[in-house]
């Protein structure tokens, strides 16, 4: 048992605060509020990050934190103080060390006499025979209630929440802005009302999300392990720009830095070491010898600009030159991770296997499986396509014709060039690392607003990993329904792609991943609705793979 005195010594650097200009609580208690909840994250065997935000302060203050074993806080096992001010938007973050491994704790903050809500968290185990993770991504606030977050909070067991990005979205409240059909109906209007670009904008959007009671409940339930995807900055970025950024919105580097600063302030993540970029968020978390969660960064550090069928595909005699396009697509210089992160990944996988860890889980923003676009003629029949062309406006007719040309099953192209399918050489480099390390790999993926169960193979056909893709917390699903309602896209993709065991784009929800020494089980945990606060959460489908063969099988 670690003594309270030893804990305080371990966190002495966190508890240190400025001696001048600091006040215990400069405002009256009635002004001070904890309206954004509490959170914990980045667990260690002896600690974790604690987070909150203070409203009502107008100058810097020392905020106390306490850790106990039960809600009464009669026996405080660790405590300290952290200074906050406007420079970090009055967010509070404590990096606590010196606690007992594999132990449940409760925590709270104190602004003078004002207590925060109580959160629950836990340290990592040295040994364990079971790990339960809730895997989430893609929460578009205007589009619906965060019922899936509430369902995570209500789970009987969750050792950590793994968030794969799109925690916030950048869009405004315009009539045609993403999700605003539901947003106006539900009166979930973005703050600020315009697309977020500046540091003040990003802070305001994070603050709006954190006021949501369902999200607060999920944060207070367990430690979170997070990585950003694209919408924490803006849609589809690469190392030098983004699809949803233009010169009229200012310098890309300034916008990116503002978004990352706000993300660092408002999320329960460990601050980067001195000299390390905020973009370099990749890291690993080990759950004893059962599993190692390896979180990747694939957006900002090294990503080559995405190819685009509209810009990069040429035509010969009216037909797409797929050979020339594939030459561009397969170019070895196209990167997602970059050399430094690849070397780190290789070292991490090798060390994990060497140390006897059973499962290596890659926390990854984007779908890794090979997924060609749907052959809609094969699916719907030529007569249905011809009838659809006659009923379709000119613009949509061109889109339909493009789908037919690009994705015919005799010679299909990838569906999503923003995912790993847009970077096949980089994917093979990762597979080579997995093979060299002999890693038993489970990939968890976000971004697509679709639930996936995929069996991954390298270019030779050798099994490399299983993949569980998570649908969205509240972002739109069924993205082709507006103009191809009869396609049943996810079912079509599963039927027409050998790596896709199953897919579903009908529901919002999350994935519950359970790992034991012998087996991994993934459940698509779906919510019945996101447009009513009355909902049910149910395990829509279950998939498993044995550690001995890594073959993904549907369950009951």
In a domain, 554, yes or no: no
Q: Given this model, what pLDDT does residue 14 score? A: 41
Burial of 261: CB neighbours in 10 Å, binned 0-12, 13-18, 19+: middle
Domain count, the chain: 1
Query: Rounded to an integer, what distance in angstroms lies between the CA atom of residue 448 and that of residue 418?
Result: 10
Residue 149 lies in a domain: no
**Predicted confidence (pLDDT) per residue in 350-399, tens digit:** 999 999 999 999 999 999 999 999 999 999 899 988 888 887 777 677 77
Does any domain span residue 35?
yes
Q: Residues 16-64: pLDDT tens digits? A: 333 333 445 655 666 899 999 999 999 999 999 999 999 999 999 999 9
Does residue 96 belong to any structural domain of this protein? yes
CATH code, domain with 19: 2.60.40.380
> Which pLDDT does position 395 carry in this prediction?
67
Residue 1 reports pLDDT greater than 70: no
The 10s digit of each residue's pLDDT in 428-477 is: 999 999 999 999 999 999 999 999 999 999 999 999 999 999 999 999 99
173: cis peptide before it, omega within 30°? no
pLDDT in tens, 106-133: 999 999 999 999 999 999 999 999 999 9
User: In the predicted model, what is the mean pLDDT of the chain?
Assistant: 93
Q: Which two tokens stand for residue 270?
A: 């460990």
Q: How many angstroms from the chain centroid is the CA of residue 441?
A: 18
Q: How buried is residue 191: exposed, middle or buried, by Cβ count under 10 Å (0-12/13-18/19+)?
A: middle
Give the pLDDT score at 16.
36
Query: Is pLDDT of 482 > 70?
Result: no
Residue 14 lies inside a defined structural domain of this protein: yes
CA separation for the pair 182, 189 (Å, rounded): 10
**Cis, bond preceding 316 (omega within 30 deg of 0):** no
Residue 554 in this model has a pLDDT that exceeds 70: yes
Residue 330 within a domain: no
- Look at residue 59 and tell me if it is in a domain: yes
For residue range 393-416, what is the model confidence (pLDDT) as tens digits? 776 777 788 889 999 999 999 999
pLDDT value, residue 26: 57
Nearest to 51 by CA among 60, 59, 40: 40
The pLDDT, as a whole number, for residue 11 is 35
Instruction: Please give the residue range of the domain that contains residue 75.
Output: 1-122
| pTM: predicted TM-score of the whole model, two decimal places | 0.95
Average pLDDT over residues 517-535: 99
Please tell me the predicted confidence (pLDDT) of residue 556.
Answer: 60
Residue 155 falls inside a structural domain: no
């Amino acid at each position: 048992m670690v003594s309270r005195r030893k804990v305080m010594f371990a966190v002495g650097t966190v508890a240190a605060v400025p001696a001048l200009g600091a006040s215990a609580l400069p405002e009256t208690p009635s002004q001070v509020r904890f309206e954004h909840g509490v959170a914990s994250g980045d667990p260690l065997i002896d600690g974790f990050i604690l987070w909150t935000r203070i409203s009502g302060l107008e100058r810097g203050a020392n905020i106390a934190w306490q850790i106990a074993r039960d809600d009464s806080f009669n026996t405080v096992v660790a405590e300290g103080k952290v200074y906050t001010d406007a420079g970090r938007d009055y967010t509070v973050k404590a990096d606590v060390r010196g606690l007992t491994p594999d132990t449940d704790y409760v925590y709270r903050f104190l602004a003078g006499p004002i207590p925060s809500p109580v959160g629950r968290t836990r340290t990592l185990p040295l040994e364990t025979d079971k790990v339960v993770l809730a895997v989430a991504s893609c929460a578009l606030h205007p589009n619906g209630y965060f019922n899936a977050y509430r369902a995570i909070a209500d789970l009987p067991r969750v050792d950590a929440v793994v968030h794969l990005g799109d925690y916030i979205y950048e869009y405004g409240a315009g009539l045609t802005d993403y999700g605003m059909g539901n947003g106006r109906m539900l009166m979930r209007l973005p703050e600020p009302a315009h697309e977020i670009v500046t540091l003040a904008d990003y802070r305001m959007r994070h603050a709006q999300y954190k006021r949501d009671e369902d999200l607060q409940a999920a944060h207070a339930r367990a430690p979170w392990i997070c990585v950003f995807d694209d919408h924490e900055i803006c849609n589809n970025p690469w190392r030098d720009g983004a699809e949803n950024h233009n010169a009229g919105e200012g310098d890309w580097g300034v916008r990116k830095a503002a978004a990352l600063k706000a993300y660092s302030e408002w999320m329960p993540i460990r601050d980067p070491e001195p000299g390390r970029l905020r973009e370099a968020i990749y890291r690993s978390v080990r759950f004893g010898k059962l599993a190692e969660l390896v979180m990747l960064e694939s957006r900002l550090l090294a990503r080559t600009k995405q190819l685009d069928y509209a810009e990069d595909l040429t035509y010969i005699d009216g037909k797409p030159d797929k050979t020339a396009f594939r030459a561009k697509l397969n170019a070895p210089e196209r990167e997602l991770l970059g050399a430094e992160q690849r070397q780190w990944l290789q070292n991490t996988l090798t060390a994990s296997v060497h140390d006897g860890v059973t499962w290596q889980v890659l926390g990854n923003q984007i779908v890794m499986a090979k997924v060609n676009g749907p052959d809609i003629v094969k699916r719907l029949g030529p007569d249905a396509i011809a009838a659809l062309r006659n009923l379709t406006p000119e613009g949509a007719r061109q889109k339909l014709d493009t789908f037919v040309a690009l994705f015919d099953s005799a010679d299909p192209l990838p569906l999503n060039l923003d995912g790993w399918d847009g970077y096949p050489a980089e994917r093979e480099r990762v597979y080579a690392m997995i093979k060299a390390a002999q890693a038993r790999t489970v990939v968890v993926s976000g971004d697509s607003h679709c639930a996936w169960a995929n069996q991954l193979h390298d270019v030779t056909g050798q099994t490399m990993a299983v993949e569980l893709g998570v649908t969205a917390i509240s972002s739109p699903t069924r993205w082709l329904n507006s103009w191809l309602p009869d396609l049943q896209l996810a079912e079509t993709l599963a039927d027409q792609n050998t790596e896709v065991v199953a897919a579903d784009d009908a529901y919002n929800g999350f994935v519950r991943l359970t790992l034991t020494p012998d087996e991994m089980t993934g459940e698509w945990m779906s919510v019945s609705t996101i447009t009513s606060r009355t909902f049910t959460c149910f395990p829509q489908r279950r998939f498993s793979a044995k550690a001995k063969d890594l073959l993904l099988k549907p369950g009951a």
